[in-house]
Amino acid sequence: MARLWAIIPAAGVGRRMGGTLPKQYLDLAGRTVIDQTLHGFIEHPRIVGIVVALGAEDGYWETTAYAAHPKVQRAPGGAERCHSVLNALTVLTAQADAEDWVLVHDAARPCLRRSDLDQLINSLLDDPVGGLLGIPVRDTMKRAGADERIDATVERAHLWHAYTPQMFRLGLLQRALDSALTAGDLVTDDASAIERLGLAPRLIEGHADNIKITRAEDLPLAQFYLQQQGRCV
């Protein structure tokens, strides 16, 4: 039976957040952001192991709650998220099978609900491609021209926000990311690499509170969501 592994890309520097501390190490509801994110995967009985991709200059990881946890391993982060994920996949190949499932989840998304994680897993375990959590867009979508004026209104009927986890078989994802990077395509999510192979990942609707902490205003919002979920320590 295929096992399930998690990869947590955590090698970013958080430029859009500002500040000196990488955003994955900011305090959030009594834990660090990365500990809030890891907690759900550490506690999940189906996840057999977790690989965290860390920046070369990361001087904070050892102070976190799960740095020495037996379920957790490290991988070297790369220049972009896609490089970090591919490095983590390389760590996994020594201990996992090509048909094992890998769930790639941003360290910067600490508000993932257990119910959404379970829905993703249960929906995709027999899927021939894999897929990801997301939500349909709710606003009218505009494409901006170079002058920051509206170039077009984009049909929103089938537009979704791509979230994480993104869940694919280890061998397929490794092959897809390797192909993308070899072609110089620095894909911003894992599904894009799969799409490049002509495959169509499945979108699983989750909750809008699975936000990615990107800018300063996202932190208090994440705090609110964790309070709503009863996850403040």
Ligand X SMILES: Nc1ccn([C@@H]2O[C@H](COP(=O)(O)OP(=O)(O)OP(=O)(O)O)[C@@H](O)[C@H]2O)c(=O)n1
SS3 166: strand
By the rule CB under 6 A, 21 interacts with ligand LQXTBERG: no
Q: Which listed range, 42-50, 95-103, 159-167, 169-177, lies at the site for ligand LQXTBERG (CB under 6 A)?
A: 159-167
Closest by CA to 225, choosing from 205, 207, 201, is 207
Q: Which listed range, 32-40, 44-52, 85-93, 162-170, lies at the site for ligand LQXTBERG (CB under 6 A)?
A: 162-170
72 and 41 Cβ atoms separated by less than 8 Å: no
What residue 16 binds from ligand X, ligand LQXTBERG, none (CB within 5 to 8 A, per partner kind)?
A: ligand X
C-beta of 132 vs 226, nearer to ligand LQXTBERG: 132
Distance CA 23, CA 119 (A): 27
Q: Encode 157-193: b = buried (16+ Cβ within 10 Å), e = exposed.
A: eeeebbbbbbbbbbbbbbbbbeebbeeeeebebbbbb
48 and 83 Cβ atoms separated by less than 8 Å: no
Structural tokens at position 214: 């990107």
By the rule CB under 6 A, 13 interacts with ligand LQXTBERG: no
By the rule CB under 6 A, 106 interacts with ligand LQXTBERG: yes
| Interface size with ligand LQXTBERG, residues (CB under 6 A) | 8
C-beta of 49 vs 78, nearer to ligand LQXTBERG: 78
In the region spanning residues 67 to 86, those forming contacts with ligand LQXTBERG, defined by CB under 6 A, are 81
C-beta of 188 vs 228, nearer to ligand LQXTBERG: 188
